[in-house]
Homo-oligomer: A and B are copies of this chain.
Amino acid sequence: MLSAHTVKSFDEDLNQLLVLISQMGGMVEVQVAGAVDALMNQNQDQAIRIVSADPAIDKLEAEVERLAVQLIALRAPLADDLRDVVSAMKVSGILERMGDYAKNIAKRTSSISSVQNLRSMVMLPHMAQLTIGMIKDVLDAYASRNVEKAIDVWRRDKQVDDIYNALFRSLLTYMMENPQSITPSTHLLFVAKNIERIGDHATNIAEVIYFNVTGEQLGAERPKSDETPFVVQPNA
Contact = CB atoms under 8 A, between A and B. Distances in A.
Contact of A72 (B62, B82, B93, B110): B82
B189 A186 contact: yes
Contacts of A187: 229-230
Contacts of A231: 110-111
Interface of A: 58, 62, 65, 68-69, 72-73, 76-79, 82-83, 86, 89-90, 93, 107-108, 110-111, 114, 172, 175-176, 179-184, 186-187, 189-190, 193, 217, 219, 227, 229-236
A180 B189 contact: no
Contacts of A230: 107-108, 110-111, 187
Pairs A-B, 5 closest by C-beta atoms: A76-B76, A179-B179, A183-B234, A176-B179, A175-B182
A77 B74 CA distance: 10
A218 B128 CA distance: 32
Chain A interface mostly helix, strand, loop or mixed? helix
Contacts of A219: 58
Contact of A182 (B68, B78, B176): B176
30 contacts: A68-B86, A69-B82, A69-B83, A72-B72, A73-B78, A73-B79, A73-B82, A89-B89, A90-B93, A107-B227, A108-B230, A110-B230, A111-B230, A111-B231, A111-B232, A172-B183, A172-B186, A175-B182, A175-B186, A176-B180, A176-B182, A180-B234, A180-B235, A181-B234, A182-B182, A183-B234, A183-B236, A184-B234, A186-B189, A187-B229
Given A186-B189, A230-B111, A65 B82 contact: no
Q: How many identical subunits does the complex contain?
A: 2
Contact of A86 (B62, B69, B83, B108): B69
Given A72-B72, A230-B108, A186 B186 contact: yes
B62 A217 contact: yes
